[in-house]
A and B are shown apart, each in its own frame.
Chain A
Amino acid sequence: MLEIKNLHVSIEEKKIIKGLDLSINKGEVHALMGPNGSGKSTLSYVLSGKDKYEINDGTIDYNGKNLLELDVDERANEGLFLAFQYPMEIPGVQTSFFLKTAINSKRKYLGQSEMDALEFAKLMKSKAEELNISTEMLKRDLNVNYSGGEKKKQEILQMSMLSPKMAILDETDSGLDIDALRIVSEGVNKLRNSENSFLVITHYQRLLNYIKPDFVHIIADGKIVKSGDYSLALELEEKGYEEISQTA
């Protein structure tokens, strides 16, 4: 699915990612943990194609394609999804209209016709219900005056409607209350299958109780310093980054 080799990234001359390797296969869930400022969000932006980042070295292969050559929207329409750490507000644009536009952009890219209005309404309703999002919410402007947790849920709604191949969740758990955390995790688990993959960025082992990862990676100063299975997350909880990084 995704193969990152020797990635070096800088922004405004400042080196942020310094030789990162990561390989994610179909059907796998990878967790990425690491201290503040270690480069997790930067990695998610580079994968989704945000400009201003300079790729100094390395390659990224995405399903046999050179990911770095694709535009942001091409990557998205090829099934790459980023649930933002800080989702954007778009004033004047109804949430439901935004969802419809996103779905139809993808369908257009894939050479399919627009989704029928009724079919769309049904899909949105059922997905929103699963995530406990009210229809009132969907009539409001996208993310405008949403609470922090509501924004995160909205990201997961978009994800489940677009059913991506490769989803990156950047600290989706931060800001969610206990019930929402469970609901969102269930949403993710429901989407999980042998054909898609997840990269879950988090600071908390708690999320990984709900979304069981196949692999856990620890990133520090722009490099993956340790990889392991689920038990690495437990070990990290106990010892903290400092000690784990030293034993790497």
Chain B
Amino acid sequence: MAATEQTIKQVNTLGSSDYKYGFSTDVDEIRPPKGLNEEIIKFISAQKDEPEWMLEWRLNAFKVFNKLPKPQWAKLNIPEIDYQDCYYYSIPKSLKDKPKSLDEIDPEILKTYEKLGIPLKEQKMLSGIAVDAVFDSVSVATTYKKQLSDLGIVFCSISEAVKTHPELVKKYLGSVIPVSDHSFAALNSAVFTDGSFIYIPEGVRCPVELSTYFRINAMNTGQFERTLIIADKDSYVSYLEGCTAPMRDENQLHAANVELVALDNAEIKYSTVQNWYPGDKEGKGGIYNFVTKRGACRGKNSKISWTQVETGSAITWKYPSCILQGDHSKGEFYSVAITNNMQQADTGTKMIHIGKNTSSKIISKGISAGKANNTYRGLVNILSKAKNARNFTQCDSLLIGNQCGAHTVPYIESSNSDSMVEHEATTSKINEDQLFYCQQRGLNSEDAVGLIVNGFCKEVLQHLPMEFAVEAQKLVAISLEGSVG
């Protein structure tokens, strides 16, 4: 395939060792023509053998999308996106006929995941972690399915859940992020392709980490992830997503909608290690990561905790949020966002306090290097019925060099006089004397920066599942390579 050859060449000429996931996989794809219209939506739905109600839901979302204004990009500089110049669906041919076992899957695809450190074959599977692997628009395979289903846990692709658990999907899909929320939410609802579906039954504590690995491979193709996680009463689940993409000169769109629902006493821990291709040093290429993530703490005493390490993407726009409806429910947001070279990130959270005695905690660490811009944007909204609500927010920014920027935009709205909101913010430059000290102990300048920045992020990184904490620390150091001269 010419396009792939071209990519490989580009990757070679870039000769960059910084982004080690930049390779692409040569596979035959099924890919309808570019463009956004009812035809393509019908095509996607038909490819997935969806029931009629799902198609109607999509078509309605498309109508809503056409009516909605585009989101206002506060601190971001985003070129006009031509929705008609993008592919909305691309799957490897070998995955068309729903392979029954891994033997039927194109070995090239299995190799891709192996190279990414996510072996899917039984003998080699990561222990303690069940993986759903999404390749462009389709889920390739899900590991540990049988073991999980014995506990009543459903862990599969959303496409499969639409068919196997329609009652749950109908009940919860779009219940946290309404289709009409904003134009990206509507767009995703119209053309979403794959993502994960998780249901943890009442009283079950999921014994392994559940995780989804998103890989964008095809050129000019948008990835529209849709993930839905439901934790029934008294249940617990920890979920982690990882993301990578080949290095390309063009920008590609990843627009996700992720909805979480926690019922009485349930807890969902959701972690992200986002390492999409960030573009080159001059800002060419890279993923536009426009993500809507929202969790509803519907039940009393429920808890949703977001932890994110955002190091990739040309532009990141995401605000994982919690709607604290149940009395005594808790929301947490721990974030590390690193921008280097020409990257832009505008990220933060919304904590909406509705129930009594609800509490939320926000810890955000923003690191900027090169010519990058990094904004924390957050909203803490305490409604009048949220008696005794509590919030603590801490936003720290670290600047490396003189050409980058850090911005903190916290909004606080409180309609309740018993509530308590605390906010702390700091902005500092990386301390030259600390760097010198580390270098005097033999660390080279990049290792010294990595060490100091990891220390700066510790409060957040320690919330990641153990298995990923070490990887994340390395990623933090790697994404800042070349930031000190």
Nearest residue (CB) in B for A79 is: B442
Which of the residues A76, A81, A84, A90 comes within 8 Å of B439, measured between beta carbons? A76
Q: Mark A75-116, 1 if CB is under 8 A from B, else 0.
A: 011000110100111111100001001100110010000000
Nearest residue (CB) in B for A103 is: B442
Shortest beta-carbon distance, A127 to chain B, in Å?
Answer: 15
Which of the residues B445, B451, B458 comes within 8 Å of A73, measured between beta carbons? B445
In the complex, the answer to whether A76 meets B442 with C-beta atoms within 8 Å is: yes
- A77 CA to B431 CA, complexed, in Å: 22
Does B455 make an interface contact (CB < 8 A)? yes
Which residue among B433, B439, B448, B457 has the maximum number of chain A CB atoms within 10 Å of its CB?
Answer: B439
Q: Within 8 Å CB of B456, what residues of A?
A: 91-92
Q: Mark A53-90, 1 if CB is under 8 A from B, else 0.
A: 00000000000000000011100110001101001111
Which of the residues B433, B443, B455 comes within 8 Å of A102, measured between beta carbons? B443
Which residue among A72, A77, A91 has the maximum number of chain B CB atoms within 10 Å of its CB?
Answer: A72
Shortest beta-carbon distance, B244 to chain A, in Å?
Answer: 27
In the complex, the answer to whether B442 meets A141 with C-beta atoms within 8 Å is: no
- A141 CA to B452 CA, complexed, in Å: 11
Q: Within 8 Å CB of B458, what residues of A?
A: 91-93
Within 8 A of A (CB), among B447-485: 447-448, 451-452, 454-459
Given contacts A93-B452, A98-B451, contact A88 B443 (CB under 8 A): no
Chain A: interface residue total (CB-CB under 8 A): 27
In the complex, the answer to whether B447 meets A105 with C-beta atoms within 8 Å is: yes
- A238 CA to B444 CA, complexed, in Å: 45
Does A202 make an interface contact (CB < 8 A)? no
In the complex, the answer to whether A90 meets B438 with C-beta atoms within 8 Å is: yes
Within 8 A of A (CB), among B74-88: none
Nearest residue (CB) in A for B456 is: A92
Given contacts A93-B454, A141-B455, contact A88 B434 (CB under 8 A): yes
In the complex, the answer to whether B442 meets A77 with C-beta atoms within 8 Å is: yes
Does A162 make an interface contact (CB < 8 A)? yes
- A106 CA to B442 CA, complexed, in Å: 6
Shortest beta-carbon distance, B428 to chain A, in Å?
Answer: 11
Does B437 make an interface contact (CB < 8 A)? yes
Q: Within 8 Å CB of B438, what residues of A?
A: 90
- A15 CA to B448 CA, complexed, in Å: 30
Given A72-B439, A76-B440, A89-B434, 5 additional A-B pairs, CB 8 A: A73-B448, A88-B431, A90-B438, A90-B452, A91-B458
A-B contact pairs, 20 of them (CB 8 A): A49-B439, A50-B436, A72-B439, A72-B440, A73-B443, A73-B444, A81-B440, A87-B437, A89-B434, A90-B437, A90-B451, A92-B455, A92-B458, A93-B452, A93-B454, A98-B441, A105-B441, A109-B442, A141-B455, A162-B442
